[in-house]
Chain A
Amino acid sequence: MTAVGDDGFLEFDRVQKSYDQQTLVVREFNLSVTRGEFVTLLGPSGSGKSTVLMMLAGFESLTSGDIRLQGRSIARMAPYKRDIGMVFQNYALFPHMTIAENLAYPLKIRKRPTAEIRSKVQEYLDLVELGAFGNRTPAQLSGGQRQRVALARALIFAPRLVLMDEPLGALDKKLREQMQLEITRLHKQLGFTVIYVTHDQTEALTMSNRIAVFNAGVVQQCDAPDVLYETPSNGFVADFIGENNFLPGELVGLTDDVAEVRISSGDVIRTRRADADRLGMRCQVSVRPEKLFLMPSDHAFDTKFTARFTNKLYVGDFIRYFFALPDGTELVVKVLNDLAAPDYSEGQEVTLVAATKDCSAFAPHRPVPE
C-alpha cells in the first residue's frame, strides 16, 4: 500500500450536514482515503459518523462541502450511479429472495450473462463459506450467516468502495470476533476500500488501517490505531479510546515537546506535550493503567509521583491496584499477575512511575457520553 491518505482516492472536503438548518450534525469533515485502505469512523452515538456514511452512500444530501471519489464529485450523484457497495446494520437481505438471488441481484441489474452470474454467485458463496446455502432464504440463516451474505452481496459487483454501517452490532461477542477476522481476511484477500462505522473501539482498533474519532460532529483525531492509542491528540480521544487515568493539575513548564504538570500531591509530572499550551492553565495528565508502574520497578521511567493505596482487585491474569491523590482523584494501575505483584496496606504511600512519552497533558475535555 502507498503511504496512507495521499492518493486522494476518496476525499471529503469541508463536508457539513444540518437537518434543521440550525444545528450542524457534521461540522466540518475533511478526510482523504487511499485506495485499498480500511478507514473506520468511530464515535459515540449521535456524533455524526453515520450521517457521514449516509452522505457518502447518497441517502442524505450535503448541506455544504464536497465528496470526491476518484477525483470526481459525487455530492450530486444519485445513489444508484455511485457504484458503492454497502453492508447495512440489520443486513437488509431481501427476504423474498433466496441467498443466491440476493447475491445475483446487483449482477442482474448490470445485465451480466446468466452463466457468469451463476459462477460469480457460487464463487462468492464459497468465499464466505456458505457454498451450500444458495437455495435457503434469509429467514433460515443465523445472524452470523446473514452477515456474511450481506458482506458477499456488497462485494460481488466489485464496487469502487464498500461501506459498512455497524455491521456487527447485532451479533454476540464471540460471533463478532469471528466476523472481525473474516472481514479482515476478505479485505486482505480482495483489496477493496472500506469505510467502516462503529461505536465499538475494539472493533475499530483491530480492523482498521486508520480510525477517525468523531465527537459532536467534529473529527477529533484521525490516525492509525497504535498512534491513536499511544499518542492521542486531545482529552476526548484519550478518554474514548481504551482505559485512561486523568490527573488534574496545573501546567508549570513547557518546552517544544515536553510539558510539566504539578498535581495535587505536589509532584511535578513530565509529560508529552499535547493540547495544553498555556503556562499556569488547569490541565489533566493522562496515563494508561498499564503504563504506570509501582516502585520498585525494572521498567524504564523518567517521571514519578506518590499516591495513597486504597484497594486492589484480583482479575486473574492481572491485578488492578486503586490509588487516590490528595484531591480525591482516583487512579488505577494494571499489574501483571506474577511473583512481583506487591501487597500494600490501606492508606500506604506508594511511588508510581511512568515514562514521559506515555503521559500526556491535555486541556480539560467534556466527558465522553456513555
Chain B
Amino acid sequence: MKRDWPAYFTFWHKLGALSLSWFSFVVLFFLILPILIIVPLSFNVEPFFSFTEGMLRLDPAAYSLRWYREILANPNWILAIQNSFMIGIAATVIATVLGTLAAVGMTSRYMPFKNLIMAVMLAPMIVPLIIMAAGMFFFYTRYNIAGTYIGIIMAHAALGIPFVMISVMATLSGFDRALYHAGLSMGATPVRAFMDITVPLIRPGVISGALFAFVTSFDEVVIVIFLAGPGQRTIPRQMFAGLREQINPTILAVATLLIFVSVLFLISLELLRRRSERLRGITET
C-alpha cells in the first residue's frame, strides 16, 4: 500500500501511524467478528454451536434453514416475536409523542426549573436498569399492572423518552424559531403552526429518537424479567430462557434476524441524517 506521508514525518512518526491503524483494525475485528460469526452458524444443519467439517468445505448439505423453521414451529418463539414488536411499537409511540412534547417544552424560554426537570426526565437512562426494574416491580404490583402488557409498555416508554428528548432537542436547537413565528403571523394557530412547520422540519430528529426508543425496548431484558408474566415473554427474554434450558442454534437464527433488523435501522438512520442535512441547507447560505 502506497501512503502519502506528510513531508516532515520521521521513521518514528510513520511507525506510530502504522501501529495505530493496525491496532484499530484489531479492535474492530474483535468487536465485529463475534457478531458476524453468528450468521453462518445459524444455518448449521447440526445442533452445534461450531463449524462442522461440511460447513468448512462449503458443502451445501451442511447448511439448512432448520433452525429458522424451528422458530416458526415453536409457539413460544412466535409469541415472543409478536410480543417484542407489539410492546416495542406501543412503547415507541408513547415515548415519541411524550418525548417530542417534552423537548419542545424544555426548549421554551418560559420553562421553569429546566435543569431539575431535565434530570428527572433523563433518569431512566442513567439509573441502573436493575434498580428501575425493582422499583417498577413493587410500584406496579400495588396497582396490579405488573405482569400485564400495559405495565411493560409504560416501563419501556419511560426508558425510551430520554432518547427521543435528546434527539429532538438537538434538532430543535438548529430550528429557526422565526419559521414558527412566521406561521403565527400568517394566522396559523400555535397547534397548526407546530404541525405544519415545526414537525416536518424536526421530523428527522423525531424519527431517529423513535428508532432509538424502539431498539431500547426491543432488546431490553431486565425489566421484562421483573415485570413480565409468561404471556408477555419478549425475544430477549425467550433467548435468555433458551440459553439456560435447551441450548440449540435456534438462538443463533433469532440473533441473525435481529442483526438484520438492526442493520436496517442503521441504514434508515443514516438516510434520515442526510435528508435533514439537505433540508438545513437553507439556513446556512
Contacts and interface: CB of A to CB of B under 8 A. Distances in A.
Interface of A: 57-59, 79-86, 88-90, 92-96, 105-106, 109-110, 137-139, 143, 153-154, 157, 163
A79 B181 contact: yes
B74 interface: no
A153 B197 CA distance: 15
Give the one of B183, B185, B187 with max A CB within 10 A.
B185
B70 interface: no
A95 B279 contact: yes
Contact of B197 (A83, A94, A157): A94
B187 A80 contact: yes
Nearest to B197: A94
Given A79-B184, A92-B181, 5 more contacts: A85-B185, A92-B178, A95-B279, A95-B281, A153-B186
Nearest to B187: A109
7 contacts: A58-B184, A85-B185, A92-B181, A95-B282, A105-B188, A157-B186, A157-B187
Contact of B178 (A84, A88, A139): A88
B189 A80 contact: yes
Contact of B279 (A79, A86, A96, A153): A96
B190 interface: yes
Nearest to B190: A80
A88 B200 contact: no
Contacts of B190: 80
B144 interface: no
B187 A106 contact: yes
A109 B188 contact: yes
Contacts of B193: 80
B188 A80 contact: yes
A190 B283 CA distance: 30
B282 A93 contact: yes
Nearest to B188: A109
A26 B279 CA distance: 37
B271 interface: no
Nearest to A81: B187
B37 to A, nearest CB: 44
A139 B182 CA distance: 17
B176 A57 contact: no
A194 B187 CA distance: 18
Interface in B258-285: 279-283, 285
B179 interface: yes
A92 B176 contact: yes
A255 to B, nearest CB: 51
Give the one of B192, B280, B281 with max A CB within 10 A.
B281
Contacts, number: 75
Contact of A86 (B185, B197, B201, B280): B185
Contacts of B186: 80, 85, 105-106, 109, 153, 157
A10 to B, nearest CB: 16
Contacts of B188: 80, 105, 109
Given A109-B188, A110-B187, A153-B186, A57 B181 contact: yes
Given A83-B187, A94-B197, A106-B186, A88 B181 contact: yes
Contacts of B178: 88-90, 92
A139 B281 contact: yes
A279 to B, nearest CB: 52
A92 B182 contact: yes
List the 3 closest A-B pairs by CB distance, nearest first: A106-B186, A92-B182, A92-B178
A76 to B, nearest CB: 15
B281 A96 contact: no
A96 B201 CA distance: 7
Interface in B143-184: 176, 178-179, 181-184
Given A80-B188, A90-B176, A139-B282, A95 B201 contact: yes
A106 B186 CA distance: 5
A138 B201 CA distance: 14
Contacts of B187: 80-81, 83, 106, 109-110, 157
Contacts of A80: 184-190, 193
A59 B179 CA distance: 13
A57 B186 CA distance: 11
Contacts of B200: 96
Contacts of B201: 95-96
A252 to B, nearest CB: 54
Nearest to A105: B186
Contacts of A79: 181, 184-185
A259 B75 CA distance: 103
Nearest to B185: A86
Given A109-B192, A139-B281, A94 B179 contact: yes
Interface in B191-233: 192-193, 196-197, 200-201
A139 B285 contact: yes
Contacts of B279: 95-96
Nearest to B180: A92
A80 to B, nearest CB: 5
Nearest to A93: B282
A94 B201 CA distance: 9
A101 to B, nearest CB: 10
A82 B197 CA distance: 20
Contacts of A96: 200-201, 279
Contacts of B197: 94
